Amino acid sequence: MMNLYYSKLLQWLDGHYNVSLKEISGYHFIYIRSNEPPTSIEKQIILAANQLIKKNTLSYECVFVRQKNGQSVFRFRFLVPSEKMFCCGNGCINCTRQ
C-alpha cells in the first residue's frame, strides 16, 4: 500500500525534475538531478507530500542527505500512526471503543 504513495510522489516530482527512487536497507532515497538548491527542492517534495496525505492520517519525514554534481539525495518515508485507528473485535485493552 505504501508503494502507491511513493509512486504518486514520484509522478508529481517527475513533472518538475529528473527523479528516481531507490530503496536501501528498508529506507527510501529520492535522487533528484537539478541545479536548484536543496532547500528549494525540499520545499517541492514537502508540497507534493502534503497533497498526497491531505485526507489521511499519514505523516512523513524528509531529510536532506547530500548533493554532488547537481544531484541531490533525500531520505524520505511516510509514517503510519502508532495508535490503533479502529476496533478489531478482539477485546484489546487499548480498544478504540472505550
Taking only the tens place, the pLDDT of each residue in 14-62 is: 888 999 999 999 899 999 999 999 999 999 999 999 999 998 888 999 9
pLDDT at 98: 60
Domain ranges of the chain: 2-79
Average pLDDT value for the chain: 89
pLDDT at 71: 95
pLDDT at 85: 66
CATH second-level architecture of 2-79? 2-Layer Sandwich (3.30)
CA distance 74 to 87: 36
pLDDT at 80 over 90: no
Burial 19-55 (b: 16+ CB within 10 A, else e): beeeeeeeebbbebebeeebeebbebbeebbeebeee
Of residues 87 and 45, more confidently modeled = 45
